[in-house]
Structure 1
Amino acid sequence: MTAWSCVLFDLDGTITDSAAGITATLAHTLEVMQRPVPSPAELLAFVGPPILDGFAALGLDPAQSREALAIYRERYHERGAFDSSVYPGIEEAMRAIAATGVPLALATSKPETQARRILDHFGLDDLFTFIGGASDDEARSEKADVVSYVLDNLIALEVDVSNPVMIGDREHDVHGAAANGIPTIFVEWGYGSDIEKVGSIAVADTPSDLPVFISRGTPEPPVANAAI
């Protein structure tokens, strides 16, 4: 077994249950823009991926998406950011991993400034060697780009990135990490569907599984067949 040299965590759906704040802010944004508002269940699909991808999927062109982004950001900063909670057991799991000396980093498609604010609000910012996310202008928002950015910063901080692992709840985490040669441990308590597990190397049913997986090092082969 090869020990993991560092662990990259997703935020929404992995550390925080943030759906309520995000979906309410999306609904508000679409209402202001006089666009159809999907059902709350349908809006869940937009929790986690880059927000501009979500606007495009809702039929907004680039100019409309930029307008929507401004509306969304203002509302989310004021009311949505803290309409969330930390998943039970995840802080304990992360602290258990950190206590073994394995560095933790955040790699989220949420704007980095907002991610830092949220982690500080919940008293979790001290856990991370580096907190990385999307740029405010969304030029860096795709998960692969965020992961690359986080790795670069960890290297600058002299963290060993020879054998990193990603922990996340959506296919964007799996694919974005894989684009950087990094495997993903998929978590069941987030917003991803069964098909999104494909390509992950392990599936954590509860946060308490994570310290076990990390202590074991490289687990079994990737999950190649998930229920469709």
Structure 2
Amino acid sequence: MIVVRYDAVLFDVDGTLIHSSPGILATMEYTFRQMGIDPAGIDLTRYLGPPLRRSFGEHFSDEATVEKMVRIYRDRYEQDGCHRCQVFDGVRPMLERLKAAGVRLYTATSKPTVVVTPILHEQGLAGYFDFIGGASEDKSVDTKTAVMRMVLDRPELQGARVLMVGDRKDDMQGAADCGVPAVAVMYGYGSEQEVAPFAPVLMAQNCQQLADYILNVE
């Protein structure tokens, strides 16, 4: 009999379940060019994970311009970028193991729910999740912490042992803000230096190690 460490797991999507950087970076480049900015001098990899408004807010201070960039990005991403994703090696077997053991699975992503849901369907992952949690298109649920709180408010998670899994500092900060432990995956877009200050309970090198930890397999 498997005695799992956690009743439920919240997964980040970009850099944790899906290798999505080609589509995100291409869409970022397009958006900046549409705004008359040469993206060659910008480290776009910094924007793999954080909310769009915060990323674009580093370049423009007025809300109207930032919202324009968000619209340009989302329109282009829907047309092209979202189709450039691939599932990381080991993700499907990991999710299958966790589901078979009775672990409830959720997403907690900074992508809007209306954007991430078709991506998960296209990649054949949507069926693994009890609930697909993502950001709102407006500012009401626009940070990783806000998304996590929205998911954690679900009735079936009250009193549950919950784990957050992600690859960037936003994931670790969201977990800290919500008072839940976090695992940092090292195959994603973050780094040990980025996540170490948050003291994740595990720095998982691959999906098998992550699943073994959740399922309490020594």
Q: Compute the TM-score of the two structures, normalised by the length of structure 1.
A: 0.89
| 1:39/1:14 CA distance change after superposition, 3 Å | farther
**Contact 1:103–1:159 (8 Å) recurs in 2:** no
Shift in Å at residue 36 of structure 1? 2.8
Are residues 134 and 88 of structure 1, via their aligned partners in 2, closer, same or farther at CA, if it must alter by over 3 Å? same
Counterparts of 1:162-181 in structure 2 under 5 Å?
162-181=160-179
CA gap 1:2/1:17 in 2 versus in 1, 3 angstroms: closer
1:214 partner letter: I
Query: Matches of 2:13 and 2:45 in 1, distance apart?
Result: 15
Shift, 1:100, TM fit: 0.2
> How far 1:61 sits from its partner (Å)?
2.9
Q: RMSD of the alignment, in Å?
A: 1.8
CA distance in 2: counterparts of 1:181 and 1:159, whole angstroms: 14
Counterparts of residues 30-179 of structure 1 (less than 5 Å): 30-38=32-40, 42-153=43-154, 155=155, 158-159=156-157, 161-179=159-177
Cα offsets for 1:65-96 (capped at 9, x unmatched) = 10101111110000011111000111111111
Partner of 2:183: 185
Q: Which position in structure 2 is the counterpart of 1:194? A: 192
User: What residue is the counterpart of 1:12 in the other structure?
Assistant: 14
Shift in Å at residue 63 of structure 1? 1.6
Equivalent AA in structure 2 for residue 125 of structure 1: A
Q: Deviations over 1:10-44 (max 9, x none)?
A: 0000000100100110110110110231458x211
Query: Structure 1, residues 175-212: CA drift from partner, whole Å, max 9, x if none?
Result: 00111111110001111022222221111001111111
Q: Which residue of 1 aligns with 2:203?
A: 203
Whether the aligned pair in 2 keeps the contact of 1:6 and 1:160 (CA below 8 Å) is no
Contact preservation (8 Å) 1:5, 1:160: no
Moved more, 31-40 or 9-18: 31-40
- Alpha-carbon distance, 1:159 to partner: 4.1
Cα offset, 1:139, TM superposition: 2.4
Secondary structure at the counterpart of residue 7 of structure 1: strand
Distance 1:212 1:162 in 2: 19
Q: Take 1:134 and 1:96, find their aligned partners in 2: how far apart are those partners? A: 27
Partners in 2 of 1:29 and 1:145 — Cα distance?
A: 26
Paired AA for residue 189 in structure 1: Y
Q: Distance in 1 between matches of 2:17 and 2:129?
A: 13
Q: What is the rounded CA distance, in whole Å, between the counterparts of 1:3 and 1:202 in structure 2?
A: 13
Identity across the alignment (%): 35
Of stretches 188-197 and 10-19 in structure 1, the one that deviates more from structure 2 is 188-197
What per-residue deviation string (whole Å, max 9, x for no partner) do you get for residues 104-152 of structure 1?
Answer: 0000000111111101101111100010100011321211100000111
TM-score (norm 2): 0.92
Tell me, yes or no, if the aligned pair for 2:6 and 2:214 is still in contact at 8 Å.
yes
Which secondary structure does the structure 1 equivalent of 2:71 belong to?
helix
- Tell me whether 101-110 or 136-145 shows the greater mean CA deviation: 136-145
Alpha-carbon distance between aligned partners in 2 of 1:47 and 1:133, rounded to the nearest angstrom: 15
1: CA distance between counterparts of 2:15 and 2:84?
Answer: 13
